[in-house]
Amino acid sequence: MQVEEYYEQIVSAPKPRRGVLGMLKAGQIIFLVLTVITFAAFYLFPISGGTAGAILGFSVPVICLALSLLYRWRRRKMLTDYEYIFSNGDLEIARVIANAKRRKLMTCDVANFESMGPIADEEGKRLSNMPELQKVIATPDGVATHYAYFNRNGEKTMLLFSPNEKLFEMIRQQNKRARLYQGR
């Protein structure tokens, strides 16, 4: 009988200062309302002036809509967490947006890791500078503490993530190759 290994770690985005999310939401709503008002004003009551009026009548609502979408994107980015699930030697990485939408980034077998360790060690620095690597960044702020280097679908891949001690040890137990876990 095989014992099932399972561990889940959530890496949360830093909490924004109080009121920042509310201001972003308010900005999004304001620009969305301005989009509707300017669209209605320019198309229900056309400005005379030929081409200049038409350009102004089209560009102002588009700019307001773009700003509204920018506010929405920034707000959702501030609410992005990452989930690492380790189950029987497989590591699944997922992005969780605003606690509502979960997008699986990748699943890999940790036995295929060729090297893994702190991003600050020599191997991590060397791999970071390789341009042909496909990099998967799985931290909310983009600052990872560890790397894992492996082949995924025939491509050299570098996973940048921030495992805690327990997850790190579970990966170490699953893969005991010599080039792993230097500097920990």
What average pLDDT score do residues 16-28 get? 77
Q: In whole angstroms, what is the distance from residue 73 CA to residue 79 CA? A: 10
pLDDT, tens only, 92-102? 999 998 888 88
- Beta-strand ranges (E) seen in 18-145 are 80-87, 90-97, 101-109, 115-118, 134-137
**pLDDT higher than threshold 70 for residue 128:** yes
Amino acid at residue number 74: R
**Residue 100: both structure tokens together:** 């509502």
State which amino acid sits at residue 29. I
The per-residue pLDDT for 3 is: 59
Measure CA 116 to chain center: 21
The pTM of the full predicted model, rounded to 2 decimals, is 0.72
On the question of pLDDT at 53 being above 90, the answer is: no
Residue 74 — very low, low, confident or very high, per pLDDT cuts 50/70/90? confident
CA-based end-to-end distance of the chain: 32
131-150 confidence digits (pLDDT tens) = 888 888 888 877 888 999 99
Instruction: Please count the CA atoms within 13 angstroms of the CA of 162 that sit on its side-chain side.
Output: 14
